[in-house]
């Protein structure tokens, strides 16, 4: 009997397997024990994502804090409050991220901390952000920083927030100050997080704090002003830091006509899809705005982005005429639905989102992807199936450069409060205690190995083996 060990790589169309094997020679029989892997590039960014208001705690000068306290929407103990206490103790979670093997992390700057009053900048707040960014670098974690993630200073709200053109000058000034203080530590910037979510939930629903006026016309005017702010911020960043990369985190759900609905619903789904998914990207590319209200050309907007950030979570169904909910939550009998009826688990939608932005010929980052799952029963399979779609895209040479999981730690989830948990790390908001979930351990293995392996699937989500690694790997048997 003789033993030997080795490593071999098999490459096929759109697929790469690395086979770790040991060979047993006994008489005339040779057998292989095989582990298959989906390999990711060596420069791939394995990240996590969070936002200021959701984790820092006690952001008392913005419109979300005011809304949480005053409108009676949130039950007791469901306000943001201390959140994850990042303002005092971000470094502890960054230690956990580094231990996990994460090499990138996305945060946002809270405008109301940096500029609590018009033209009054808080140097202590900027210094604390600098400490957090330095802590990331010290742990080998590359920062990505968003300038706006849903919240507005109360003084800006009083001046009309994004409904007033004056916001462009304010946003440019805020950007210039932040970049002057922190720009040497930030290689990647996001001007806005999910601008069309901001439009839909603030102007067409009551799920976000209300602007002075709701409706399509004021909403479209706000979006146009956000595009102007984006253009101004882009050129401000590039003037100071030419090597910095600037983009937007764009939510890209799949929209389809509700099952059993007619042709009008299918037509309506295409219109909603264009408005939500395409219109912002087309405007950044061409500089033009094509809408029922406020069409035209925005100065310096064309080409004002270096990469595309995709936030992807789910598929939505719509019906015509739209109801108050706007989307249908009749997911279907076979759908896997996450906590709180948040959405359907639909992994192939991530590949669809990646494929549809290839035409812009820009690097792509998955800037958010995750699932609310307090029991952590869905998240391991969610993570594996969605990363399979990322790997599939990379296999076809689509320029996907990194993946940022939402989120590192359970955090305050806007109008859902603490009822929905997205974290790889479980957190008790009352005690601030943390505990790594199984999905966190799985992500740790993926980050450290730069791969998804059949062994990982077998241990964390064995029911997925036939789907992710179909059929038996090659075996050689000689008699």
Flag whether pLDDT at 18 surpasses 60: no
- Tell me if the bond preceding 456 is cis, omega within 30° of 0: no
Flag whether pLDDT at 27 surpasses 50: no
What's the average model confidence in pLDDT over 412-437?
96
Flag whether pLDDT at 475 surpasses 60: no
Strand residues in 221-334 grouped as ranges (E):
245-251, 254-257, 288-289, 296-297, 307-312, 315-318
How do residues 369-414 score in pLDDT, each as one tens digit?
A: 999 999 999 999 999 999 999 999 999 999 999 999 999 999 999 9
| Cα(420)–Cα(358) distance, integer angstroms | 32
What's the average model confidence in pLDDT over 329-354?
93
How do residues 105-123 score in pLDDT, each as one tens digit?
A: 999 999 999 999 999 999 9
Q: Which residue has the higher pLDDT, 269 or 14?
A: 269
Task: Domains for the chain: give ranges and CATH numbers.
Answer: 43-449 (3.20.20.80)
| Cα(171)–Cα(63) distance, integer angstroms | 16
What pLDDT score was predicted for residue 26?
30
How far is the CA of 321 from the CAs of 257, 262, 330, 477, in angstroms? Answer: 11, 11, 16, 62
| Cα(338)–Cα(311) distance, integer angstroms | 17
3-state secondary structure of 378: coil
Nearest to 227 by CA among 300, 178, 160, 159: 300
What pLDDT score was predicted for residue 34?
54
| Cα(420)–Cα(36) distance, integer angstroms | 34
Flag whether pLDDT at 90 surpasses 70: yes
**Out of 163-172, 347-356, 463-472, least confident range:** 463-472
Q: Which residues on neighbouring strands pair with residue 32, listed in sequence order? A: 23
Percent of the chain topping pLDDT 70: 91
Please say whether the beta carbons of 390 and 400 come within 8 A: yes
Please say whether the beta carbons of 420 and 342 come within 8 A: yes
CA 390, distance to chain mean position in Å, is 14
| Cα(399)–Cα(179) distance, integer angstroms | 27
Paired tokens of 6 = 């080795």
pTM exceeds 0.85 for this model: yes
């Amino acid at each position: 009997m003789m033993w030997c060990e080795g490593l071999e790589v098999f490459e096929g169309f759109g697929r790469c397997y690395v086979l770790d094997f040991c060979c047993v020679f006994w008489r005339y029989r040779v057998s292989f024990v095989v582990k298959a892997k989906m390999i990711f590039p060596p420069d791939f960014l394995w990240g996590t994502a969070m936002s200021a208001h959701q984790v820092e705690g006690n952001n008392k000068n913005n419109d979300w804090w005011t809304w949480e306290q005053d409108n009676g929407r949130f039950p007791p103990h469901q306000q943001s409050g201390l959140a994850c206490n990042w303002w005092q103790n971000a470094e502890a979670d960054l230690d956990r991220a580094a231990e996990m093997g994460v090499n990138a992390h996305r945060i946002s700057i809270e405008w109301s901390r940096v500029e609590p009053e018009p033209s009054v900048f808080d140097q202590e707040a900027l210094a604390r952000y600098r400490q957090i960014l330095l802590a990331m670098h010290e742990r080998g974690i590359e920062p990505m920083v968003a300038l706006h993630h849903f919240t507005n200073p109360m003084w800006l709200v009083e001046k009309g927030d994004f409904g007033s053109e004056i916001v462009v000058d304010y946003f440019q000034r805020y950007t210039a100050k932040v970049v002057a203080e922190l720009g040497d530590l930030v290689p990647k910037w996001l001007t806005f997080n999910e601008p069309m979510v901001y439009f839909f939930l603030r102007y067409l629903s009551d799920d976000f704090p209300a602007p002075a006026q709701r409706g399509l016309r004021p909403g479209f005017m706000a979006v146009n002003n956000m595009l102007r702010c984006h253009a101004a911020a882009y050129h401000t960043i590039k003037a100071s830091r030419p090597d910095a990369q600037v983009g937007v985190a764009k939510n890209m759900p799949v929209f389809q006509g509700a099952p059993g609905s007619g042709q009008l619903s299918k037509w309506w789904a295409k219109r909603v899809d264009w408005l939500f998914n395409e219109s912002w990207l087309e405007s950044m590319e061409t500089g033009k705005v094509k809408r029922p209200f406020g069409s035209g050309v925005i100065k310096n907007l064309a080409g004002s982005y270096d990469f595309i950030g995709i936030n992807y979570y789910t598929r939505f169904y719509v019906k015509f005429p739209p109801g108050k909910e706007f989307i249908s939550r009749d997911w279907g009998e076979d759908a896997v639905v996450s906590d709180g009826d948040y959405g359907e688990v639909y992994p192939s939608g991530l590949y669809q989102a990646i494929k549809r932005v290839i035409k812009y010929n820009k690097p792509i980052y998955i800037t958010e992807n995750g699932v609310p799952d307090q029991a952590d029963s869905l998240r391991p399979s969610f993570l594996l199936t969605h990363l399979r779609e990322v790997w599939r895209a990379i296999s076809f040479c689509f320029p996907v450069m990194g993946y940022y999981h939402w989120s590192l730690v359970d955090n305050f989830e806007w109008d859902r409060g603490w009822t929905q948990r997205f974290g790889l790390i479980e957190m008790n908001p009352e005690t601030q205690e943390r505990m790594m979930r199984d999905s966190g351990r799985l992500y740790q293995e993926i980050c450290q190995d730069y791969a998804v392996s059949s062994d990982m699937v077998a241990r964390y989500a064995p029911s997925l083996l036939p789907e992710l690694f179909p059929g038996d790997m090659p075996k050689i048997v000689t008699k």
